[in-house]
Amino acid sequence: MRCCWPCCCPAMACWGRPWPTRPALGWCCWAGWFISGLFGGRVVMLSPVSAPLVTIVALCYNHAPYLRPALDSIRAQTYPHLEVILVDDASTDGSAAILREYAAANPTWQLLLLPENLGNCRAFNQGLVRTRGEFVIDFATDDVLLPERVAKQVAAFQQLPGSYGVVYSDAELIDEQGRVMRRHFRRDRQGRILAPRPASGWVFADVLRRYFISTPTMLMRRATLEALGGYDETLAYEDFDFWVRASRDWEFYLLDEVTTQKRRHPQAMSRRGYRPHDPYLASTIKVCQKALLLCREAAERQALAERVRWEMHQAARWRSFAGAWELYQLLHKLRAVQLSDQLLGGALRVLRWF
């Protein structure tokens, strides 16, 4: 079997072939393959034996305009020990045909075409249970993975204790045409992060208080996901709930590099929320209620109160008065109602019926 990885066998003529026609990964690759990267001033080397299997759950719903760059970015990964499952959540825009094309060109990839739209959380879980990788990427197929994304994050995990369940990183935000708009983390001229302020280690109070993780950049330990029972399928979106529940018992780590391009476009989930009768607001409220049961210390309850107050004001601003009223009631349970909250609560008591 010939080798197609020039990092191991640079003389191989097959490197110039299109991806679908390259020969399979040869054993000579496994014998000489390594990941090298700077981590704390040291070079990290992974042997074939120690290289864990990484699962990419590529989740698609009407991503046809962005699907090819996303799937090509999987094939461009420098880390070879990958398991890929393509999950289509009953797209209506021709995405399924593109997914079939890529699955046919990559026989090791699994393809799951769901007959009905299940929503992000249920669809992801359907893909997850069909895989076995030690680490998992939840990959929305309107985003793009940079070539060394998996290799660098696996190398980071290899240097961390088993108590770490998530490695996340910086991202480039791109527009519909793929042009870079800015980075997730805003920095000063020396490259130091200004905002949002990241956190590593035990971050439960941090994820309650504020948003700082770029969801598409996460590499998750499968044991973490399994301990949680996967994503909560009663929710309209997954990340806030995952952060809260995972950070209660697992540590998080920031790999301070750009590993992913996150696409911003009108159809993206992150552009919706807080409108009246919006399912994402209802999910946020439910997660805050779950978080209250997980709080163990006064500082954690205070952090949650800050989040609830912020969410309440956002809901009121967008005239989601019933949702804002629920959040006001949660502030009462937290015994964190301030004078300004009382004034807003008085208005919400009436407006929630409209």
* Secondary structure element (H or E) that encloses residue 62, with its range: none
Locate 276 and state its tokens: 């009246």
pLDDT tens sequence across 12-40: 333 333 333 333 343 334 333 333 444 44
Q: At residue 110, what is the residue type?
A: Q
Locate 216 and state its tokens: 């598409």
Rounded to two decimals, the pTM is 0.84
Question: What per-residue confidence (pLDDT) applies to 26?
Answer: 39
- Residue located via tokens 């409108």: 275
Question: What per-residue confidence (pLDDT) applies to 215?
Answer: 97
Q: How many residues does the chain have?
A: 354
Q: Kindly report whether the peptide bond that precedes residue 115 is cis, defined as omega within 30 degrees of 0.
A: no
Confidence label for 275 from pLDDT (cuts 50, 70 and 90): confident
pLDDT at 9 over 90: no
pLDDT tens sequence across 243-261: 999 999 999 999 999 999 9
Query: Which whole number is the average pLDDT over 48-53?
Result: 77
**What does the domain layout of the chain look like in residue ranges?**
1-33, 54-271, 280-351
For 344, counting Cβ atoms within 10 Å of its Cβ (0-12 exposed, 13-18 middle, 19+ buried), the class is buried
- Residues 208, 126: Cα–Cα separation, whole Å: 28
Domain 54-271 coded CATH 3.90.550.10: yes
Query: Which whole number is the average pLDDT over 151-164?
Result: 98
